[in-house]
Structure 1
């Protein structure tokens, strides 16, 4: 197999060599794995930054002990849970929001940092878009799309998002959830006491 020289940032290579040696790998092996991964992403039509997004999402997935489950399965479970006991269902959604917001605050100290984190991993999330714009007075308007298909899953996503906003010192003034995974929120920043 022919070898070629590849240009890379000197500090990055220095750090990579240190990590590679400590784990018993070779630069050659690790470089080939990384290049093969980026080639597969490019061939499938993805952007080159998708690999970084996947790495960031992997860290979050590992930290939160997330398991991949098909969305249609979750959608059906959510509908059944809501029909069985809507109060307990909403309590679970709120608890999930509190747990997720606690984790996110450890990764992103401000709402702006949170939006930047979302930008880094949005390509690998089911949430397709978060649009934030200035509302009337001191409020902001937020629209999330891609939060579920049925009204029950969108309702749960809305409750989770409300807890996240509260963790970032926002007061939710109004929230509307629609089937198809669309959530509209009007919120205002309230300084923490």
Structure 2
């Protein structure tokens, strides 16, 4: 007997609920931890990077496995959630770490390449998130929309470099993420149309 198929819209809603609950769990753990600001900042940054990398993995993996191909439409949701986590990461940095002290933030950006990379990544991700809907594809036309979304292949490496440079002790995780990203970029280059 075959199990009934769950409609894709239901799967997307379940994915969104799951990612929201994961965010709430991370916030709860940060509140219960010893350093609220650092824990929130690190959690949102790390999981934002994971989600953005996972969104890039869909296309190459869908070429090999049918079950990934059946779920490829979820890639957009995962990418948007990666942006939501990145936005929270930036807002935590602005509000809780620097308390809106713009001059101090500018000094910090000028003195730290990894913060500059993080800001660059966010600026590149912003138009991608704003146009990650069917209305934007229709308004821009598919070719222009696709050309705009090539920025993903600049933004996500900037995110990964930011994540790597922000690490002070645990280097294995960002190195593995960087290797996965490199494989995705090599695959993308070889299969570019």
Is the pair's TM-score, using the shorter chain for normalization, greater than 0.5? no
Please state which structure has a larger fraction of its residues in strand: 1
More helix by share: 2
Structure number with the bigger relative contact order (C-alpha 8 A, sep ≥ 6) is 2
